[in-house]
Structure 1
Amino acid sequence: MKPYTENAPEERLNAISRDLAEAYPALSPQLKQAAGYVLDHPGEVAFQSVRGSASAAGITPSTLVRLAKKLGFTSYEPFRQVFQAALQAGSGELSDRASRLKSLSATRQNPVFTDVGDAAFANIGHLFTADNQTRVESAARRLLAARRIAVIGFRDTFACAYHFAYVGRIAMPNIALVRGLEGGLLTELAPFGEQDAAVIFGFAPYCAETLKALEITRQSDVKSIVITDTMRSPLVPGADLVFTLASDTPHFFPSILAAITLIEAILAECVAQGPAELVDNVTHFEQRMRALGAYVE
């Protein structure tokens, strides 16, 4: 079988389907059963675990692994990722994702709850790599060296930006959440310059306000840490440091679980690498909150 190196996700999936159809007559009965399931249920293959798909197909997980390897993949996971990428590229519309979710639920017995869980574990697994560990350590050093830190994320990624800014400010008061309300984006970003850093979140479909904010920070030579979903993201060019995160999910809205987890890792690394003053800031924050009655005993 040929390697699936086409750039477009749909082309890679189409190539797999063609090769499976051509090879089908010569496959063993178990592999035929596996191939039939893969051809008929690409949505399930994309978001179920190998065990979930094997159970639905009435075969063993090792059979699916053998099928993937027969097609030239080193393991099942990169095989499954082709299906995920193709389905996500097929439509970024939330309504289409919601319709697909409804149709999947109607055509099989596996609970959506399990599929969401499988996707969540896979997304987190892709985050914790040696390369990303190095990037997290680098991000922490850049943030600790910055005079001020702007955190940017609008619409679907505002939750990420807010979480980063809220938690981060407890230890690092120089963090500012950029809201861009009432046309104030330029005013908020005007004070930031070459001694500063920006943490920018953006996932497809990419928000016009985020791209505008990124353009402003680039013009001011602000150091940018971009957290996005692919190296093809329009946020990547010119970035000083890039994290690409998996956001796969059968849910109609892209998952931000990996982004929230990355935030925790970066901020934890900042406190671990940073001066004792950061720990003192956390202590003082907690004392103030308790004195103001913010917590219920």
Structure 2
Amino acid sequence: MLDDQPRSDDTPSGETPPPTGLDAVNQQLAEAYPELSPQLKLAAGYVLEHPVEIAFQSIRKSAAAAQVTASTLVRLAKRLGFESFDQFREVFQSAVQAGPVELSGRANQLRSLASQTDDQVFLDVGDAAFDNIGRLFTADNQTRVRDAAKLLLGADKIAVVGFRDTFACAYHFAYVGRIAMPNIQLIRGQEGGLLTELSTFGEGDVVVAFGFEPYCAETMRALEIARASGISPIVVTDTLRSPLVPGSTITFTVANATPHFFPSILSAITLIEVLLAECVAFGPDALVDNVASFESRMRQMGAYVENS
């Protein structure tokens, strides 16, 4: 366990009032994370990744799991303006009690239906998929989706960034999104063209960036360019400790656990569907007209095979 000596960045926040909800707590921790001492980084990382445990475990058990001392968790709580760890923990208890949509019953049903087989991998992937999506549908995310849709609808232009494992997410967002919103552009960054592709974006524009660990250098570079140009970033990533988070206007963290050898993009794809549906539902009538026009053009061009 690391030593627990106070550091200059461990000082409490003074008279700053504490955040009133879990979303605000997570955002403040994410913003402060790069500047924290090693001890507080361990504590903050555990808090960000284990809200249920923080809500219901004793402080000593949480500290042991985070590989810090209990006093470090107290200092972290006070840094955010809380008078005590108990007051800090109440925020987590309230949020966890609201909870995500429970899909565990469906996962159990999947396991029961397939219990006649010995294919444990099949069952585990199913369990992980249900759990990942269940974690997406929370009250906090519902509010965040509405805010993101408003930001997208108000943008002059929308750039979409995702490389390697998240390119499929970026492509899906851009392809489906452009049907309703032609101002969406997929950034490919091929042959060193990242700067050129982003050069036409600026104030009033939005970039939607996808990135999971291991984080791509190209995605980091795209966000650096975006922030320098005044573009508002919407980041979809796997944890608030992600290097993509600082400076983002709106951040979504999606669960991507899976027995598969590569991180799951199921929750990210589901989030894309929710975001784009929200934009069409609450956007101008022109978006619906764009969808109808697209379908009509595709049919006229013979893009679809008719099922006679």
Q: TM-score, normalised by structure 2?
A: 0.64
- Distance in 1 of aligned mates of 2:195 and 2:294: 30
- Distance in 2 of aligned mates of 1:219 and 1:242: 18
TM-superposed CA distance for 1:194, in Å, is 1.1
- Distance in 1 of aligned mates of 2:108 and 2:266: 22
**Which residue of structure 1 lines up, in the alignment, with residue 245 of structure 2?**
236
Matched, 1:5 2:5: no
- Distance in 2 of aligned mates of 1:6 and 1:185: 43
TM-superposition CA deviations, 1:110-169 (whole Å, max 9, x none): 520000000000000000001000000000000000000000000000000000000000
- Distance in 2 of aligned mates of 1:220 and 1:7: 43
3-state secondary structure, aligned to 1:118? helix
3-state secondary structure, aligned to 2:62? coil
Aligned residue pairs: how many?
A: 207
Q: How does 1:114-263 map to 2 (within 5 A)?
A: 114-263=123-272
Label 1:225 to 1:8 Cα distance change in 2 as closer, same or farther (>3 A): farther
Q: Structure 1: which 5+ residue stretches go unaligned?
A: 13-48, 56-108
- Distance in 1 of aligned mates of 2:65 and 2:283: 43
- AA at the equivalent of 2:62: T
Q: How does 1:275-286 map to 2 (within 5 A)?
A: 275-286=284-295
- Distance in 1 of aligned mates of 2:181 and 2:249: 21
- Structure (1/2) with the larger helix percentage: 1
- Distance in 1 of aligned mates of 2:108 and 2:204: 50
TM-superposed CA distance for 1:5, in Å, is 2.6
**Which residue of structure 2 lines up, in the alignment, with residue 82 of structure 1?**
none
TM-superposition CA deviations, 1:56-89 (whole Å, max 9, x none): xxxxxxxxxxxxxxxxxxxxxxxxxxxxxxxxxx
**Which residue of structure 2 lines up, in the alignment, with residue 29 of structure 1?**
none
What RMSD, in angstroms, separates the aligned Cα atoms of the two structures? Answer: 2.3
- Distance in 2 of aligned mates of 1:198 and 1:177: 10
3-state secondary structure, aligned to 2:233? strand
- Distance in 1 of aligned mates of 2:285 and 2:199: 31
- Distance in 1 of aligned mates of 2:305 and 2:255: 37
- Distance in 2 of aligned mates of 1:161 and 1:135: 19
TM-superposed CA distance for 1:50, in Å, is 9.4
Label 1:199 to 1:114 Cα distance change in 2 as closer, same or farther (>3 A): same
Q: Is the Cα–Cα contact under 8 Å of residues 107 and 130 in structure 2 kept in the other structure? A: no
Q: Structure 2: which 5+ residue stretches go unaligned?
A: 1-56, 69-105, 113-117
- Distance in 2 of aligned mates of 1:50 and 1:124: 11
- AA at the equivalent of 2:265: I
Matched, 1:273 2:282: yes
- AA at the equivalent of 2:205: D
Which aligned segments of 4 or more residues in structure 1 are displaced greater than 2 angstroms? 1-9, 49-52
**Which residue of structure 2 lines up, in the alignment, with residue 94 of structure 1?**
none
TM-superposition CA deviations, 1:2-37 (whole Å, max 9, x none): 44434976x59xxxxxxxxxxxxxxxxxxxxxxxxx
3-state secondary structure, aligned to 1:5? helix
Q: Is the Cα–Cα contact under 8 Å of residues 188 and 194 in structure 2 kept in the other structure? A: yes
- AA at the equivalent of 2:270: T
